[in-house]
Structure 1
Amino acid sequence: MCGIVGILGGEPAAGRLVDSLKRLEYRGYDSAGVATLIEGQIVRRRAAGKLRNLETALEQAPLEGVTGIGHTRWATHGAPTVNNAHPHQAGKVALVHNGIIENYLELREEISASGAILDTETDTEVVAHLINTGLADGLSPQDAVANVLPRLKGAFALAMMFAGQNDLLIGARKGSPLAVGHGTGEMYLGSDAIALSPFTDRITYLEEGDWVVMTRTSHQVFDKDNKPVSRPEAKSTVNAALMDKGNYKHFMAKEIHEQPEVLGHTLSQYVDYTQNKANVAGSEQLRFKDLSRLVITACGTAYLAGLVGKYWFEKYARLPVDIDIASEFRYRETPLSSADSALFISQSGETADTLASLRYCKSQGASIGAIVNVPESTIARESDVIFPTIAGPEVGVASTKAFTCQLAVLAALALQAGRERGTLTFEEEAKLVSELTELPTLTLKALSNEVEIQKLSQQLSKATNALYLGRNTSFPIALEGALKLKELSYIHAEGYAAGELKHGPIALIDENIPVVVIAPFDAIYEKTVSNMQEVAARGGRIILITDERGAAQCGTSPETVVVLPEMSDIVAPIVYALPVQMIAYHTAVFMGTDVDQPRNLAKSVTVE
């Protein structure tokens, strides 16, 4: 994930910016840069690769100036080159950006039509040009930014400085985190408390849609409607920086809300936005073109991600998939050969059963791929090829953002396999990739249901048992919803394929049992509705998660309906994961359990 830092200081800023960026290296990056104001003029130093390359550039050409911004970049639009590295500049404005501007092509055409020349391949540069146009029209920096922010679609965090404005920084966030740091005669901006820890332990976290105007001695926060608001100041410590919850009560809540950002970053590594195609480096190691079957193995939530992946590989690539829980697979002595490929999924990359399964497959000559969140982990090191999730550190034991990022990687891999096997046309792949790029926006909208979910969770917390139902890719999400509820609230819950309701689970239905039905309006929606009517006829308490068409045509009266945006089949399981996460989280909060560290559970299961 990109890292952002800004300084309104009293001493040279460049070295301090680099020091802060080093604290953000854990987020991952492939280029870096800083900019300062020198005698009122913007001066930049940028470098591809690691921060040491930026440090070398600064040694060769030092930067003075006490006002500055810095950035570590994960390449999305455009390769990780010096020219594409941040900060970007257009006239009198320089800025750094974390996220993706989804409507950048439309804005780019508008800017080009006006006669301006864009120098990079990035989506970020259009923001600088739009703000600079406002400045050229006589607007103040604050008004220019206020005019541009509503025009930006997607998820972003921005830090901006302006030529001739030595006592001004402006920051903004939508779907990507940004925090203000308070010093003595100094002020700072940063992606999180880690970035700000070299300077201060006094932090103000901007909320969704906020933007802030800062001087060395003051700051004013505005909400998404441009109304002045007050945000509380929190205290952080250097030692606790990595474990900082921000303005959330629990790490899990923070990590649920980070999903629009991390999904954008993960997708940027696996799809080519300019050509609308999957672009998965290393996929040739799995030999999709000639593969007769793919083996997927994982544990817990990662296994459920693999179940969704099975649907995608078989639908889009026509590739048969065998999937099993790692603790079972490792002892089954599954027949494998050098003609087979195996894919392992693990957040930590250290899960004992998954690692043992990997070693078994490797001993049989199979090609090994791994989807992991820790590229330095044992599973990663022992694989032929790794597909990192760009989720960032996940502290909560119950996986949230790591799960949805695993799904994003699996979706891209399935499309890559489809192209390599000739089962997807160029037009079909382009359409599917275009749908995937909507994930940051769709997940932001899903999060907007949180108040309603909090209310239904209060009622759910009184139950002792619950059922989750779904069909197709919604079936693994039903399993995941039940697993999360069990993990966090200790309420017994089971997930079932909705078509299996009459084969046993229907015996449990009465007026005391909540039934969570995950049912986007898709080709099999009517089948799920039939199962829901069977529940209603027996007095079951239905919680329906669907879209507007699904809500209008459900034919029953659910106790609660959570309405999500309409979306394509390929993104639905990823987006629908968020409400089941929030249901489990808020139910556990009402029950007073330890949300981040549920009893008997560990983040990484490194023993059998």
Structure 2
Amino acid sequence: MCGIIGFTGRTEAVPKLLDGLERLEYRGYDSAGVAVVSENGRLQVKKSKGRLSVLRELLDSQQPLSGNVGIGHTRWATHGEPNDTNAHPHVGQEGKIAVVHNGIIENYQEIKQSLIRKGITFSSDTDTEVIVQLLEYYYKKNENLMDAVYAVLNRIKGAYAMGILCSDHPRQMIAARKDAPLLIGYGKGENYIASDVTALLSHTRTVTYMEDGEVAVIAADQVQIFDRDRFQLEKEKHSIEWDVSAAEKCGYSHFMLKEIMEQPEAVRKTISPRLVNREIVLEELNDAKELMKNISRIYIVACGSAYHVGMVGKYAWEKLLHIPVEACLASEFRYSEPLLGESSLVIVISQSGETLDSMAALREAKRKGSKVLSIVNVMGSSIARESDYVLYTWAGPEIAVATTKAYTTQMVLLLMLGNYLTKQLNRIEQDEYAAIIRELQSLPEKISVILNNLEHYQKTAANYFNHNSIFYIGRNLDYALGLEGSLKLKEKSLSNIVEVKSRGAEVIALTTELTVNQIGSQASEMFVIPKTHLLLQPVLGVIPLQLFAYYVALNRGCDIDKPRNLAKSVTVE
């Protein structure tokens, strides 16, 4: 399940829906669709397997869908193969209600069999169709749409973010959320729902984040939000500071290259507000000494590239703090029986702040009495809201599925946090601390130095893109860096280089200015990064690996911003 967009206003809904879906393409998907209700109550649906361009062609070739209220979806198949029938939106047997849904309905088979026994016919293999068929069943019984919605929510088990249309209510849509991201956007004479704020940036900057169990009724001029007991709520509105251009390519061929090139500024935004008078200042952690007072074990929990950040953090933090640190895949964390409690600190890293496995790990840690600190990019996200402490990377939106600036800023912030805690606990010499501060300040400039030599990475990639296998070799911090380099394409002991060369391999060495002469005689090619503090080398070292991966993918004709079978944010288990 992937992207949701919904619109209600006074203009045609379809262009707004397609624009929102286009901005959600980065999340990865295999089909797309829209549903619109006309003023006279006609429910119209178009959906298709494949890219959004296929849906656009379908809409252009047929009679236009007309209406001021609509919902749209990009689907990542979880139940049923990718095809036109399984694509969202799904419509009930009576043709009155349409639903788009992100998440997993765990008891859908049980409900489906119950509805089949009542004579209801299903057309798809999805769990989502159960929602809409059950909605129509309850709605038909008493013709109260909100009663039907709450009856469904009380019966289904699992995670959901959903948008609902009903032909009997052509001027409103309904939204509901549990364990999957969904927000409401406020405009002038129009309002929106979306699974991601990037879908709304060109239309509004004012949003409300829905919480678990909430239901919203959204019309062009009014938004009403209710809790699980149907009491109306007064919700806080948030202003999104991201620039619209941050979600545009701005002349670059791909979002991935644009975001690689944005890293000096992204790192500067992460670092600069937190360096004051040559000291790391984290106002979010003004009670750091109290927080760390009885901590004897630290867990860094994350998925994908954020997990590789955690691997770097493990090596760096153990060196700095002299406390056992374990980097854990969020999907395995709950099942590994971690030693949680008041003496454990759990650090959760997530770009979106909505990764379901990481959210589950967070809740398990809190349930067992551990303090949770999160490093996230999206303000107001679920992980940020539920953590005891939160540090934002301020990297801005990242559109390419393959993360670059989010990874780099997460790593910088985690290393800053480690040094901050070390200083608060008086476990670092002042000279060492001062040296790290100087190098932190110079990181954006040194990243720029690396990015000023794009031709070298283009040339190297052109020489090696047709190799079928590439191995990343490194130790300690370099091993963790190698994991991320390997992920981007799917470093640096001399003895390893000699060994693999003896077996016929060509070697590209990633090294610093200090060891160019030593490594150069053995390597076929070299990526050289500026000299910096040992603990900060992974921040600079990942930039050449990103560029190499980008240009190799370009030479191989890959879909760079939307890699095959990958999604940006995994919000289902």
Matches for 1:46-65 after TM superposition, within 5 Å: none
| Conservation of the 8 A alpha-carbon contact between 2:511 and 2:528 | yes
| Partners of 1:242 and 1:445 in 2: CA distance | 22
Out of 426, 436, 446, the position equivalent to 1:442 is 446
| Conservation of the 8 A alpha-carbon contact between 2:520 and 2:526 | no
Task: Give the counterpart letter for 2:301 in structure 1.
Answer: T
| Partners of 2:477 and 2:516 in 1: CA distance | 19
Matched with 1:254 is 258
| Partners of 2:244 and 2:265 in 1: CA distance | 23
Q: Does 1:485 align with 2:489?
A: yes
Matched with 1:601 is 566
CA shift in 2, pair 1:257/1:241, >3 Å: closer
Task: Give the counterpart letter for 2:528 in structure 1.
Answer: V
Matched with 1:586 is 551
Q: Deviations over 1:305-356 (max 9, x none)?
A: 0111111211112222122101111222222112221000000001111111
Deviates more, 1:546-555 or 1:559-568: 546-555
User: Cα offset for 1:558?
Assistant: 1.7
Matches for 1:31-46 after TM superposition, within 5 Å: none
For the residue of structure 2 that corresponds to 1:434, the secondary structure is: helix
Q: Deviations over 1:465-493 (max 9, x none)?
A: 1101112211111110100101xxxxxxx
Matched with 2:285 is 282
User: Cα offset for 1:450?
Assistant: 1.5
TM-score (normalised: structure 2): 0.56
Out of 471, 474, 480, the position equivalent to 1:467 is 471
CA shift in 2, pair 1:280/1:442, >3 Å: farther
Query: How many residues were matched structurally?
Result: 335
**Poorly superposed stretches of 4+, deviation over 4 Å:** 194-198, 239-242
For the residue of structure 1 that corresponds to 2:269, the secondary structure is: helix
User: Cα offset for 1:284?
Assistant: 3.0
CA shift in 2, pair 1:598/1:269, >3 Å: same
Out of 508, 524, 535, the position equivalent to 1:570 is 535
CA RMSD in angstroms comes to 2.2
User: Cα offset for 1:435?
Assistant: 1.1
Matches for 1:133-532 after TM superposition, within 5 Å: 243-272=247-276, 274-279=277-282, 281-282=284-285, 284=287, 287-486=291-490, 517=491, 519=492, 528-532=493-497
For the residue of structure 1 that corresponds to 2:508, the secondary structure is: strand
| Partners of 2:438 and 2:246 in 1: CA distance | 34
For the residue of structure 1 that corresponds to 2:531, the secondary structure is: coil
User: Cα offset for 1:254?
Assistant: 0.4
| Partners of 1:280 and 1:434 in 2: CA distance | 20
| Partners of 1:292 and 1:327 in 2: CA distance | 23
| Conservation of the 8 A alpha-carbon contact between 1:290 and 1:421 | no
CA shift in 2, pair 1:330/1:442, >3 Å: same
CA shift in 2, pair 1:555/1:579, >3 Å: closer
| Conservation of the 8 A alpha-carbon contact between 1:317 and 1:419 | no
Matched with 1:227 is none
User: Cα offset for 1:241?
Assistant: 5.0
CA shift in 2, pair 1:240/1:568, >3 Å: closer
| Conservation of the 8 A alpha-carbon contact between 1:278 and 1:412 | no
Task: Give the counterpart letter for 2:249 in structure 1.
Answer: K
CA shift in 2, pair 1:344/1:241, >3 Å: same
| Partners of 1:265 and 1:394 in 2: CA distance | 15
Task: Give the counterpart letter for 1:306 in structure 2.
Answer: G
TM-score (normalised: structure 1): 0.53
CA shift in 2, pair 1:196/1:368, >3 Å: closer
For the residue of structure 1 that corresponds to 2:470, the secondary structure is: strand
Task: Give the counterpart letter for 2:483 in structure 1.
Answer: L
For the residue of structure 1 that corresponds to 2:462, the secondary structure is: helix
Identity of aligned residues (%): 39
Q: Deviations over 1:86-143 (max 9, x none)?
A: xxxxxxxxxxxxxxxxxxxxxxxxxxxxxxxxxxxxxxxxxxxxxxxxxxxxxxxxxx
- If asked which structure has higher relative contact order (CA below 8 Å, sep 6+), I would say 2
Q: Does 1:547 align with 2:516?
A: no
